[in-house]
């Protein structure tokens, strides 16, 4: 391995993956590992690659499709070992708990309310549906594109709960998968970028070795030393890794 390539297989603690080498991003000097200080600065591109690799491995381990694999990884905080240990213990129950299938409670409540499935009209605005203006969710609750688009674009305002959004139908616990967010955000560049940020933050939050620059410059720092270590970001902001406040120790 060349000296200026990042070897994730050795030092990426929880997520033990090597990232494809030889791509242009890796020649980017910002990505160089700062070997002497055991700090590395990661760009969103690199994090996306690590995330994608993990999704692929999860698909293989569980035979789930991409959307479902992402759901499972989110609930297991991106820990593939945990997926391997716990997912198969009770797949049916896990699917209900993670919003991949209707929960017993949802099923009962929806039946009581007589909510229609596979309706020919939108359950929100009652417009007639055909294949060109609608999208079927796995629960069978049908909505028109306009209602879904509005719903999804509102959901991303809720940074903390966005990834746990459920079907627009009241009482339905079915989780809205990533591909549906992408489908309805793709015409709105600003919101799409917002969503991508939410997705990456969810991925990095689960790893205590990673923190985003508090100046919001888009760079993420990885270090295994979690003491109140000072980080000097590529944007020149100096901050404390443990509390994220402006650097408050004398630097040597
Ligand atoms: Zn509608
Ligand atoms: Zn539903
Ligand atoms: Zn920064
Ligand atoms: Zn501090």
Domain boundary assignment for the chain: 43-207
* Interatomic CA distance for residues 152 and 184, integer angstroms: 7
pLDDT exceeds 60 at position 188: yes
At 39-81, the pLDDT tens digits run 888 989 999 999 999 999 999 999 999 999 999 999 999 999 9
* pLDDT at res. 36: 43
Q: Which ligand has the minimum distance to the alpha carbon of residue 248? A: 4
Whole-structure pTM value: 0.79
Q: Which ligand is nearest to the CA of 246?
A: 4
pLDDT of 250 reads 52
Which residues make up the environment of ion ligand 4, defined by Cβ < 5 Å?
228, 240, 242-243
- Give 100's pLDDT tier (boundaries 50, 70, 90): very high
CA of 80 to the centre of ligand 3 (A): 29
* Least confident stretch, 20-29, 143-152, 227-236: 20-29
Length of the chain: 252
Q: How far is the CA of 245 from the centre of ligand 3 (A)?
A: 12
d(CA 83, CA 6): 26
**Ligand 4 centroid – CA 200 distance (Å):** 24
User: What does the alpha-carbon distance between residue 9 and residue 1 come to, in Å, rounded to a whole number?
Assistant: 11
Residue 207: per-residue pLDDT: 83
Task: Show contacts of 202-208: CB within 8 Å, 24+ apart.
Answer: 202/74, 202/163, 203/47, 203/51, 203/78, 204/47, 206/14, 206/77, 206/78, 206/79, 207/13, 207/14, 207/15, 207/78
Q: Cβ-count burial of 160 within 10 angstroms (0-12 exposed, 13-18 middle, 19+ buried)?
A: exposed
For the segment 83-91, the average pLDDT, to the nearest whole number, is 96
pLDDT tens for residues 132-177?
788 778 899 999 999 999 999 999 998 889 999 999 999 999 999 9
Confidence of residue 228 (pLDDT cuts 50, 70, 90): low
């Amino acid at each position: 391995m060349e000296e200026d390539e990042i070897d994730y297989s050795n030092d990426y603690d929880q997520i033990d993956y090597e990232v494809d080498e030889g791509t242009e991003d890796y020649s980017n000097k910002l990505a160089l590992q700062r070997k002497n200080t055991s700090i590395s600065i990661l760009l969103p591109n690199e994090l996306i690659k690590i995330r994608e690799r993990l999704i692929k491995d999860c698909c293989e381990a569980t035979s789930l499709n991409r959307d479902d694999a992402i759901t499972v990884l989110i609930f297991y905080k991106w820990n593939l070992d945990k997926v391997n240990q716990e997912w198969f213990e009770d797949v049916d129950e896990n699917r209900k708990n993670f919003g991949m299938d209707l929960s017993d409670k949802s099923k009962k409540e929806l039946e009581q309310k007589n909510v229609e499935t596979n309706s020919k009209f939108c359950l929100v605005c009652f417009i007639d549906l055909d294949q060109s203006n609608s999208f079927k969710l796995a629960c069978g609750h049908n909505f028109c594109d306009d209602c879904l688009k509005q719903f999804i674009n509102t959901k991303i305002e809720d940074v903390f709960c966005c990834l746990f959004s459920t079907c627009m139908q009241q009482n339905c616990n079915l989780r809205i998968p990533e591909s549906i967010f992408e489908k309805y955000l793709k015409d709105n560049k600003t919101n799409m970028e917002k969503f991508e940020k939410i997705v990456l933050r969810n991925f990095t939050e689960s790893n205590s070795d990673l923190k985003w620059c508090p100046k919001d410059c888009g760079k993420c720092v990885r270090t295994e030393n979690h003491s109140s270590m000072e980080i000097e970001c590529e944007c020149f902001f100096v901050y404390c890794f443990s509390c994220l406040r402006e650097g408050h120790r004398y630097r040597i």
